[in-house]
Amino acid sequence: MIRGYRHLLRLSLTLAMLLGLSACALFQARDPVTISVIGIDPLPGQDLELRMAVKIRVQNPNETPIDYNGIALNLEVNGQPLAAGVSDQSGSIGRFAESVLVVPVSITAFSVLRQAVGLSQVQSLDGMPYVVRGKLAGGVFGTRRFSDSGRLNLPQPASAPW
């Protein structure tokens, strides 16, 4: 009787070790995705709400593709929340590949007011810091969070040739 329990215990431990090793292969370290904001286009708004389509380039520096089934995005300017948006689009970004995704975002009148108050002490928007945070939803273990930050670089007016 005791011998049967020992055999069952050894078999259970062996199976647990094999499952643990296979789980380690599933959770291999992945490099973070690289996100760049490449464009912002206006969309039709409603009442006091502004809408924009934010275009982001997502680069996958990993050996495995990234499958996603939703995107969430938050945009801060000058340390204050400005816009937020979600999209239920789905797709895949291949291994060592990139893709351009478009996420519609909303800017509320309150956000615009908060930005206006914060900008009242600033001479120009040029050089203003921004942060984009978001996630590519991919299930319980496949969700990839990302962020990008920088400074607004607005084009300068051309100087007169004379």
pLDDT single digits (tens) 114-129 = 777 766 666 555 678 8
Helix (H) or strand (E) holding 25: helix 2-26
Using alpha carbons only, what angle is made at residue 78 by residues 76 and 79, rounded to the nearest 5 degrees?
60
Question: How far is CA 25 from each of CA 16, 30, 156, rounded to the nearest angstrom?
Answer: 14, 12, 51
DSSP tag of 68: E
Label residue 109 by pLDDT band (50, 70, 90).
confident
What local confidence, expressed as pLDDT, does residue 28 receive? 58
Alpha-carbon gap, residue 60 to 54, rounded angstroms = 19
Question: How far is CA 95 from each of CA 9, 71, 99, 158, rounded to the nearest angstrom?
Answer: 41, 19, 11, 42
Alpha-carbon gap, residue 71 to 91, rounded angstroms = 11
Task: Delimit the domains of the chain by residue range.
Answer: 31-151
Alpha-carbon gap, residue 22 to 17, rounded angstroms = 9
What topology does CATH give the domain 31-151? Immunoglobulin-like (2.60.40)
Q: What is the pLDDT of residues 49-105, one digit of tens each?
A: 889 898 999 999 999 999 999 999 998 988 888 899 999 999 999 999 999 999 999
What local confidence, expressed as pLDDT, does residue 35 receive? 87
DSSP tag of 159: P
Closest CA to 31 of 59, 51, 11, 72: 59
User: Does residue 134 have a pLDDT over 90?
Assistant: yes
What local confidence, expressed as pLDDT, does residue 143 receive? 87
User: Does residue 160 have a pLDDT over 60?
Assistant: no
What is the DSSP annotation of 80-97?
Answer: EEEEEEEE---EEE-TTE
Q: What is the pLDDT of residues 8-43, one digit of tens each?
A: 778 787 877 777 766 555 555 678 888 888 888 889
**Greater model confidence, 162 or 14:** 14
